[in-house]
Amino acid sequence: AQSVTQLDSQVPVFEEAPVELRCNYSSSVSVYLFWYVQYPNQGLQLLLKYLSGSTLVKGINGFEAEFNKSQTSFHLRKPSVHISDTAEYFCAVSRVTGGGNKLTFGTGTQLKVEL
């Protein structure tokens, strides 16, 4: 079975400052890795994904994440945040092989960008 740990439940940051949201995962098999964003009263939107290849993945809205296999981490970063980035961010994994592509999510990190 897979599990995902998001170490920070809330991250406050000032506008234009850099931010890092941490994600660690546990799995006995190879996994794909994802970051989703959820704005208030909305569904989930895919920010970026790691499937294979380069460990540095770039996504939408200026976000990027780095896959570190030895540390089983997939931290999300943005060099300069905007007020509009205020939202809940979820890290998720799915198995590379085996039937189905279900996602296992972390508990989320609330990013609050302040002026």
**What is the binding site for another protein (CB under 8 A)?**
4, 32, 36, 42-46, 49, 51, 90, 92, 94, 99-108
- In the complex, minimum distance from the CB of residue 90 to another protein, in angstroms, rounded to a whole number: 5
| Residue placing its CB nearer to another protein in the complex, 53 or 115 | 53
| Residue placing its CB nearer to another protein in the complex, 84 or 107 | 107
- In the complex, minimum distance from the CB of residue 63 to another protein, in angstroms, rounded to a whole number: 16
Residues near 40 by Cβ (< 8 Å), separated by ≥ 6? 87
Q: Tell me the helices (H) and strands (E) count for the chain, helix number first.
A: 0, 12
Among candidate residues 105, 44, 111, 45, the one with its CA nearest the CA of residue 78:
111
| Residue placing its CB nearer to another protein in the complex, 11 or 103 | 103
DSSP state of 59: -
Residues near 110 by Cβ (< 8 Å), separated by ≥ 6? 9, 10, 11, 87, 88, 89
- In the complex, minimum distance from the CB of residue 101 to another protein, in angstroms, rounded to a whole number: 4
Locate tokens 């809205």: which residue? Answer: 61
> For residue 14, what are the β-bridge partners?
114
- In the complex, minimum distance from the CB of residue 80 to another protein, in angstroms, rounded to a whole number: 27
| Residue placing its CB nearer to another protein in the complex, 67 or 106 | 106
